[in-house]
Structure formats: C-alpha cells, structure tokens
Amino acid sequence: MSVGKLHNRVAIVTGAAQGIGAGIALELASNGADVCVNYVGDSVQTQDIMSQIQKLGRRAIAYEADVSDRAAVEMMVEHTIKTLGPVSILVTNAICSVRNSILDTKFEELQRTLNVGIYGVFHCMQVVARIMVRDQIKGAIVHVSSPHARGPFKNAIDYNVAKAASLQLALSSANELMWKGIRVNVVQPGWTITPGIMRASIVVNLSR
C-alpha cells in the first residue's frame, strides 16, 4: 500500500480519465490518497486509471458526471463521501473546447465550454467548500488553469475566455476560503502532450 504525506486523504479529480487529470489522480494515489475519478464518456480509460490507482494500494471509485450539472456534482460529492470518506482535496481539471476563431465559433460551442470551464468549476468548488466548512475540514482545492488565462492565443476564443474567468474564480475563492482554513491554489501547466491538446493541434493546423 502506498503510504505518503496524503495517507488516507480523499480526493476528487474532475476530468481524470486521461491527460493531465489522470496524471494528477495517479500522483495523489502514489502519495497515499484515495481518489474519486470523475469522467464523462471515457469508461475504458477510466477503468485503466482505476486499476493503476488500486495497484498502488489505494481505493478508487469512478463517477461519471458532467460538472456543469449542479445536481450531478452534488451527487458525486455525496457518493464519494459515503464510499471513501470526507473529502479534503478537490482538483478542478475538467474542461472542453472546440478551438476556433471568433469568426467561426458557434454560440452553442462557446456556451458549452463556459458551462464546463467556468460554471463547472464554480459548482465543484462551492459544493466541496461548503462541506469542508460545515465539517471543519482543513482542505485543499487546486484549480488547473492555463497560460490561456492570461494570453489571447489564436483560434481558442472559448478556451481563452473560460480559463481567464476560472482563474479569477479560483483567486477570489482563495482570498475568501483562506479564512476558513481551506487552501486554494492555481497551477498553469504549459504545453502538455495529451489527447485533448493533440485534437486541438489538429484543428488549429487544419484551419491555417
């Protein structure tokens, strides 16, 4: 069994079926945490991540939930608490994007990215933080941001906007929740080879 500095802590990682989210889930488990692997659709890859976590000697559950759906987030958190125990770590990583220019982006595409990348982050942070405060848990929330939060990268209107707004959401939450004993941090990974970034790269290359 993996025994580390996060031994017996319980974490929820959104968008954890692949890419950066999967890497975060495995790193948490390798440091002793039990993990709820949130996903949408990627059931085969999710089972692989679950298996890897369990090989580390940690408990893992998979929960399919669209984080833009408030009720689904509430049920995911409740299920995690009942199955694994009190949640003291949340990583908001889930995002979606079509990567298009301002001229070509459809409103419904923009809205979908904002629903996941802004409102989904809000739902997860608020639901978990309220429980942490209620139960007096000194927890940690980590938001996976991006250099897109500060830079107007080409052909990424929806992603740029979502990451910029969610950065302020996380920073504002940090300013408020620190007084409740909850630490909120932001990480901004650079260019990382993931299935999502490869799909985005293909779209950008084809649009040139």
End-to-end Cα spacing for the chain: 50
Kind of pairing between the strands at 89-92 and 60-64: unpaired
List, for residues 67-118, the tens digit of each pLDDT value.
999 999 999 999 999 999 999 999 999 999 998 999 999 999 999 999 999 9
43 C-beta neighbours (distance < 10 Å), count: 12
8 or 176: whose pLDDT is higher?
Answer: 176
How far CA 128 is from CA of 79, 83, 149, 169, 175, in Å, comes to 12, 16, 24, 15, 16
CA distance linking residue 66 with residue 78, whole number of Å:
15
Q: For residue 96, what is the enclosing H or E element?
A: none
Task: Give catalytic residue positions.
Answer: 159
The pLDDT confidence band at residue 207, using thresholds 50, 70 and 90, is very low
pLDDT per residue over 119-134, tens digit each?
A: 999 999 999 999 999 9
CATH superfamily assigned to domain 10-207: NAD(P)-binding Rossmann-like Domain (3.40.50.720)
Q: In what order do the strands lie in the sheet with 140-144?
A: 60-64, 34-39, 10-13, 89-92, 140-144, 183-187
Q: What is the pTM of this model?
A: 0.90
Domain assignments of the chain as residue spans, ordered by start: 10-207
Q: For the residues 155-171, what does the mean pLDDT come to?
A: 97
What is the predicted pLDDT for the residue at 60?
A: 97
DSSP letter string, 3-38: -STTTT-EEEETT-SSHHHHHHHHHHHHTT-EEEEE
